[in-house]
Chains A and B, each alone.
Chain A
Amino acid sequence: MTLDVFDIIGPIMIGPSSSHTAGAVRLGRLAQAVFGEIPEQVDIFLHGSFAKTYKGHGTDVALVAGLLGLDTDDAGIASALELAKVRGLTVSFIPADLGAVHPNTAKLVMRKQGRKREVLGSSIGGGNIVVTQIDEFTVDLRGDFYTIIATYLDRPGMVAKVSALLAKGRVNIAQMKVSRVDKGAQALMVVEIDNQVPDEIAEEIRGLEGIQSLLKIKPI
């Protein structure tokens, strides 16, 4: 267990709850980062305690604030729904049963110009979060690290090629998870790393045969 004074007096945040509000903002931010930009439309499915108390805790507003890129201490969080209108983001909230998941879980289905991506994540306490699913892929993404997310065609050697390029860029891997729908079909690679991937290395990864997309995410 590591603790410092600012875990006790801090963080600076928008109330009223670190898991229902601050965690929800971070979940929205991470979902937006995974989508790559602010979507045009998002359907937010709220599960468990999120579904029951989201209005009172402002979980709905906080998720949208995160989708718009606001931080956990931004005074604009409370008016995020109005801000969404201005920024051209249409939102709907749908209380739902998402199955055997953490009680504070949301699924965000984001759309823009025919492109669609689903992110399922939970607020697990004290503002900490975990994204467990991106589209049909199982992941374990916490937003504490620089991260790259690549979609590619499942074939031998892809992980080795990507990690070789990361090594070339002196990027240290903290955690890595690959997931695929079927053998030989589309696959997803989530690599949490200690430092930012240099642009030229990112370009080289994008240029690898079989890589379909690459996203760089900063800690949120």
Chain B
Amino acid sequence: MEAMFYKTVAELVKTAEQRKCPISTIVLENQVENTELTLDELLKQMDKNWSVMVEAMERGLNEEVRSVSGLTGGDAKKLYQAHLSGSSPLSGGPVMETVARALAVAEVNAAMGRIVAAPTAGSCGVVPAVVYTVANLRGNSRSDIVKALFTAAGFGMIIAYNASISGAEGGCQAECGSASCMAAAAAVELAGGTPVQAAHAGAIALKNVLGLVCDPVAGLVEVPCIKRNAMAAANAMVAADLALSGIESRIPIDEVIGAMKEIGKSMPATLKETACGGLANTPTARLLERQLFEAYEE
């Protein structure tokens, strides 16, 4: 049986505006209606997810996490230390903090650490990094954070329903792009913006990454995935700031999601997680691939 959930952001926002409540309230109530879980169980499960997200951020920032392949790792700590040691990041403190946290979670993922897929493992750094940093800046409670994750999930469900959250199906726009959209919407809610502003933030974030191809070097969730988590998190922060200042997306978010689906369909298979094209097909990527797989065959 098909679950009856909100199929467009427009409906979700309209209901929240009518009820004069945040989007998270509507998503939560809708989940109580459509799952076997109570409100309390839903909040508890999401709270558990948040604990895992926080653990992953802390681990990535404090340890020099190395990936299984040895290709990546240690960048989150490097960036965080540089920021802590008093350098003035050109893009601003909160943005660099967010980026460091996104790198941290994505590095923990590549190192076979424990993460929460949000919406996927490959894009797991974006939502926690943005939510953590914004909540820290605005002094939100843990309960606000947990609720904001439902807003993020609500946007993700609508994307999954109308387009895709899989890189193999839609390119990286479907993974890091969806994550950035979800994070921007959650950020607006945490910062006290309206449901309409959350939708604009999501639209702006997603518009900016349309066409983002999925081209993992050697087929591994590392290059460029980890740094794309960082950029998608920064993208979400800027999108949230734009929306909070009253800037609107000229194209409504549901149409942006539709465009994402169309672009994903038009993308050749070489650019959708097959490691056949894009960055995965550069001379350096092919060299790294040979070195990695030769090492394994020894």
The finding on whether chains A and B are genuine partners in a shared complex, rather than unrelated, reads yes
Is B68 within 8 A of A18, CB to CB? no
A1-28 interface (Cβ within 8 A of B) = 1-18, 21-22
Is B35 within 8 A of A55, CB to CB? no
**Which of A2, A49, A61 is close to B3, meaning CB atoms less than 8 Å apart?**
A2
Interface 0/1 of B50-84, CB less than 8 Å to A: 00100000000000000111010000000000000
For residue A16, which residue of chain B has the nearest CB? B221
Is B122 within 8 A of A5, CB to CB? no
Q: Which residue among A8, A10, A78 has the maximum number of chain B CB atoms within 10 Å of its CB?
A: A8
Residues on A with beta carbons closer than 8 Å to the beta carbon of B52: 12, 73
In the complex, A16 Cα to B293 Cα: how many Å? 18
Distance in Å: Cβ of B151 to nearest Cβ of chain A? 10
Chain B interface residue bracket vs A: 35 or more
Q: Between A and B, how many residue pairs show CB distances below 8 Å?
A: 143
Please count how many residues in chain A sit with their CB below 8 Å of the partner chain's CB atoms: 34
| B22 interface contact, C-beta 8 A | no
Residues on B with beta carbons closer than 8 Å to the beta carbon of A4: 3, 31, 34-35, 157
| A57 interface contact, C-beta 8 A | yes
Is A9 within 8 A of B221, CB to CB? no
Which 4 residue pairs across A and B have the least CB separation, nearest first? A15-B109, A8-B156, A5-B153, A16-B221
Binding site for A on B (CB under 8 A): 1-3, 5, 27, 31, 34-35, 42, 45-46, 48-49, 52, 67-69, 71, 108-122, 124, 127, 149-150, 152-154, 156-157, 160-161, 165-166, 168, 182, 218-222, 292-293, 296
Binding site for B on A (CB under 8 A): 1-18, 21-22, 49, 52-53, 55-58, 61, 73, 75, 77-78, 125-126
List 26 A-B residue pairs with CB atoms under 8 Å apart, sorted by A's residue number: A2-B2, A3-B157, A3-B160, A5-B31, A6-B45, A6-B46, A6-B49, A9-B46, A9-B49, A10-B45, A10-B49, A12-B49, A15-B112, A16-B67, A16-B68, A16-B110, A16-B220, A52-B219, A53-B220, A55-B68, A55-B292, A55-B293, A56-B69, A56-B292, A77-B112, A78-B68
